[in-house]
Amino acid sequence: MPRGVAIPQIRQHLFAAVERVIVRDGPGRLNGRAITGEAAVATGLLYAHFADLDDFLAGYAVDRTFSVSAHAAALPERAGTGDIAANLCDAALATPPATLMALTRLLVARPDLIARVHAVLGDDTSGIDAVEGAVTTYLTEEQRLGRLAAAVQPAPLALAVVGVLHRLTLAADTGADLPVSVRQAVTALVGNFTTAVPRR
């Protein structure tokens, strides 16, 4: 990108670039030059907006974790409608696959960032904890409505669902692979516990 050209929403531009680097090369290859090169901006631009690389990665993790948590928070409102497994998959995949892949891989490689995310967003309302809590609440409500077998324990099932999502996100080769894998796995995991076919 030519020097002197203004870039709207530069933070989001850089965040999108770091996602591409992580998905393509892995979090071990991250540095300021790789990110700004991917974003096609001057190297100094990153440091004009962030104190250092750690500050940038923390900002990215907070931003994307907030988005994931917000999507998960809406899941309980879907109780009693549609198909249970489909609702879970829709909530999980509301965040773009590349974002899920990049964020998960970054936090596995840099667990110190989790504390920084929690310091901003809260311990129980962000990231995996928020997703697991929302899935538990959703499954509990579906059970109360009679659409989930009474013998099911919602919290362990929610943990299993989140574990499947986490595993598939780490294993996916490309973002295109993830939605199909998630839908197949979650449907297989939850489908046998559904007690009613949703009305169409």
Instruction: Write down the domain spans for the chain.
Output: 53-193
Q: d(Cα 13, Cα 82) in Å, to the nearest integer? A: 36
Q: Which residues pair with 148 in a beta bridge?
A: 194
- Asked if 60 and 15 count as a contact pair (C-beta separation under 8 A), the reply is yes
**Would the pLDDT of 200 be above 70?**
no
Amino acid at 170: L
* pLDDT (0 to 100) of residue 83: 94
- Asked if 132 and 80 count as a contact pair (C-beta separation under 8 A), the reply is no
Residue-wise pLDDT tens digits, 81-110: 999 999 999 998 998 999 999 999 999 999
State residue 136 phi and psi, 5-degree precision. Answer: -60, -45
Q: Which two tokens stand for residue 13?
A: 């531009």
- Tell me the CA distances in angstroms from 125 to 27, 43, 144, 159, one per residue in order: 25, 34, 24, 16
* Average pLDDT rounded to a whole number, residues 14-33: 94
* pLDDT (0 to 100) of residue 8: 56
**Would the pLDDT of 113 be above 80?**
yes
**Would the pLDDT of 198 be above 80?**
no
Question: SS3 of 194, please?
Answer: strand
Q: Which residues pair with 194 in a beta bridge?
A: 148
Residue 13's nearest CA partner among 44, 32, 33, 40 is: 40
Residue-wise pLDDT tens digits, 38-84: 999 998 999 998 999 999 999 999 999 999 989 899 999 999 999 99
* pLDDT (0 to 100) of residue 177: 80
pTM, whole model, 2 decimals?
0.86
Residue-wise pLDDT tens digits, 132-182: 999 999 999 999 999 999 999 999 999 999 999 999 999 888 777 889 999
